Amino acid sequence: MIAISVAEDDALWAAFADPTRRRVLEALLEKGEATTTTLAEGLPITRQAVAKHLVVLNRVGLVAGQRRGREVRYAVQPERLDDAADSMARVAAQWDGRLTRIKRLAESLQVDTHGDS
C-alpha cells in the first residue's frame, strides 16, 4: 500500500536528496528538540544554512517548529519520517527478495554442476 501521494513522495525524496539536510535531520533526531542555534552548534555549517534546511524539512512535514517566547524549537515528526522510511524500505525489501532468489538459483546450479542433486 502506498500511503502517501505521488507528489508528496516526490517532495520527500527531494528533501532527502541533500546530504547536509540529512545530517540536520539526524542531529535533530538525536537532540529530540532544538533551536536553529543549538542545532548549528553541533554541525559544521552556519546557523543560516541550518535555517534554510529546516525550511525545506518543515515544508514536507518532516519537522515542525513551535514558538516558545523568542525562539522556535524544532522537532522531527516521526510519522512523516516513517513514510519516508517506508518508501526506502519498499525498494530495499524488493532487492532482498531478488538477492534471495539469486542465491537459491546460483546454489542450485552449483549443486547441478557437481553431479547429483
Partner 1 sequence: MAAEPIEREILIEAPAEVVWGVITQPEHISRWFSDEAALEQRAGTDGALTWRPGGRGGSGSGLVVPIRVVEVEPPRRFSFRWGHPEGTGPSEHNSALVEFILTDEAHGTRLRVIESGIEAVTHDEDGRARYREEHEQGWERHLGEMLEYVAASARGEAH
Other residues' Cβ atoms within 10 Å of the Cβ of residue 60: 20
Q: Which of 65, 67, 45 is nearest to 56 (CA)?
A: 65
- Total number of residues that touch partner 1 (CB under 8 A): 36
Q: Does residue number 106 form part of the binding site for partner 1 (CB under 8 A)?
A: yes
Nearer residue to partner 1 within complex by CB, 69 or 113: 113
User: Residues of 10-37 as b/e, b for ≥16 C-beta within 10 angstroms?
Assistant: ebbeebbeeeebebbbebbeebeebbbe
Interface with partner 1, residue 108, by CB under 8 A: yes
Residue with smaller CB distance to partner 1, 48 or 91: 91
Which residues bind to partner 1, rule: CB under 8 A?
2, 6, 9-10, 13-14, 16-18, 22, 88, 90-113, 117
